[in-house]
Structure 1
């Protein structure tokens, strides 16, 4: 709930069966939450009075135990954020500043088991991690080989990977249909050149083009195709109805 007089968000949980408020967690100055342990635990981010998110708590519902501090970043320029993966198996913890970005995983079935570092980079970057069938997928615009980039890309790594963790380009980028649970390879039809541009590799499903013509038009084969002529990715800072600035990423085709 938003306390308009004091300008902060207050956390409380309502039992939908009884309609009454749970005795815990209850906290002021909360900015972010994520469920864990099948709804038996709630992780939340606590902010200071300057509204800087810096501490993560874990609260066990229907328990008399005190909420447990999972992480604290007191430095002024370091912020933390949390979100759960779409399969609810992990809670991702983002620790970022103007000089670095780190991402940790928390096992949602055992949120008190600790944090595991899965990604780190030197410069501040946009990072989203998802889990699917034993793999972690990273969507980021972090520097590649020490060079800054003005686009986002996807990397994949096995969940149970040896240290240091190795991230690689996936074999293909796919679209996941939530309604039927199916994956489909993303392709972009280019009618002017009468061919289909595939995100990864050199396969085509459009009209056949001989190797000579294809080589002349596109040069040497690359493992990952450039989609800048087909897609645009923009980052904006937008203001919500309550005046809070929120980061917004928009991806669209030309």
Structure 2
């Protein structure tokens, strides 16, 4: 099968004043044609990929299906992460972000995923950081997935490995917080602390990372949620000097 030879630029969104693409005469036929291309090994590397993705989405194609199809036919995970990030940046389709989240969810919720992953931050979760940066409207979906992973049972992992995994997930939550998803993230961690079923070292880690990230001014709702954890001696006992500077009303 011949690959499409059109360039990368043709696949990027058109700006104001440029000619708009004509709608496809037969959307189902277009979708099928695109799917046949996507099934070709390493088609994700072809310069015409953006053109075909645009045709596919404009014809009503499923983002989940195309992402699964392309990923299954390309095994270089690190390069795939860069390409997926490019899709998010250049295509500017929130629906692509939704598809990426669903694909990542299907991958990282496999029982053996974290057992087999040796990276400090697995590529799939690093991609979530890119989605969070590009699509603020998807923050809640990302947080929901992170919470699901944080609360998942990883009994096959050693205790210390489980703690490191949870710290890595907290890093993703702090990144989400830094992108504007402040109250939902802090509210969840405060709930974990209140229930008493989360290792206090993880709460301390989260608070420490947030203190390193945030800056004035603070919203009243954020202060109401975060300050009780900062005031807790068990959490911030060794950080009192820093917290006094950030929260002088302590």
TM-score scaled by structure 2?
A: 0.26
Task: Give the TM-score taking structure 1 as reference length.
Answer: 0.26
**Which structure: greater helix fraction?**
2
Greater relative contact order, per chain length (Cα 8 Å cut-off, separation 6+): 2
Higher strand residue share: 1
